[in-house]
């Protein structure tokens, strides 16, 4: 746990988020912020309309570890417009600087091509390229549908056909969410919020758990029981070791 004396006192802003250090969804407190572009400075209470890039330092209220993020900030004109002072601010996450954001891995039980596509999408998500990540996660779903043998003229039909292959409705619904995310990203230029993209990635991870990981684990456990049963049977008629 870091030395509390080294921390800048908490500011008023707080949020709920998953801490990348302890993985708990907890309250996080803003410790410090500063502008880093177009100039390096600590902002005052009164600002003019415009744009800047801002570095924010947050701390987890559970483990006290720091999280550093970069945001693009639009300082919107206030109302009435004859007052040349910024009113509302709009923050857009650019990237997490610390701790480094790692691409999302998938279990080795998933097919190699599914894992490769998911890793590529995760890399895009990690650097804040959320439209590219949306397209990538859509590609993951399409590959899973092909691997499972789903039929259809388009991805919507292929996802719906998974019901014929005894895929649960919750997985199908999650795949449709990923399809819409990708469609909006590539066709409509819509960029979803980071947590919305992360949620779709989580839906795919859950689907991979159900479709690939759990069946593989059951097969491994069945093989282990068979091996134990076979070894026990082979040793049943063997002479017992003599007493010393």
Closest CA to 112 of 199, 222, 207, 208: 208
pLDDT (average), residues 91-118: 87
Give the domains, in start order, of the chain with CATH numbers: 8-98 (no CATH), 112-226 (1.20.120)
Q: 3-class DSSP state for residue 58?
A: strand
- What pLDDT was estimated at residue 6? 46
In tens, the pLDDT along 128-180 reads 889 999 999 999 999 999 999 999 999 999 999 999 999 999 999 999 999 99
Tell me the whole-structure pTM to 2 decimals: 0.65
d(CA 190, CA 181): 9
d(CA 242, CA 201): 60
- What pLDDT was estimated at residue 141? 98
């Amino acid at each position: 746990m870091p030395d509390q004396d080294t921390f800048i006192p908490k500011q008023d802003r707080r949020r709920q988020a998953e801490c990348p250090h302890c993985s708990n969804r907890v309250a996080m407190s803003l410790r410090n912020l500063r502008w880093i572009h177009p100039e390096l400075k600590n902002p005052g209470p009164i600002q003019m309309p415009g744009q800047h890039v801002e570095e924010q330092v947050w701390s987890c209220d559970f483990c006290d570890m720091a999280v550093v993020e970069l945001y693009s900030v639009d300082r919107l004109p206030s109302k009435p417009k004859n007052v040349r002072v910024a009113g509302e601010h709009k923050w857009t996450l650019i990237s997490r600087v610390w701790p480094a954001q790692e691409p999302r891995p998938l279990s080795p039980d998933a097919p190699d091509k599914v894992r490769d596509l998911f890793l590529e999408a995760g890399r895009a998500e990690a650097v804040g390229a959320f439209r590219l990540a949306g397209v990538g996660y859509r590609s993951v779903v399409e590959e899973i549908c092909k691997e499972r043998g789903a039929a259809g003229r388009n991805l919507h039909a292929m996802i719906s056909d998974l019901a014929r292959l005894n895929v649960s409705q919750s997985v199908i619904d999650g795949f449709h969410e990923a399809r819409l995310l990708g469609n909006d990203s590539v066709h409509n230029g819509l960029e979803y919020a980071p947590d919305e993209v992360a949620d779709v990635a989580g839906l795919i991870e859950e689907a991979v758990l159900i479709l690939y990981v759990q069946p593989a684990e059951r097969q491994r456990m069945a093989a282990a029981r068979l091996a134990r049963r076979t070894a026990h049977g082979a040793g049943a008629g063997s002479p017992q070791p003599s007493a010393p």
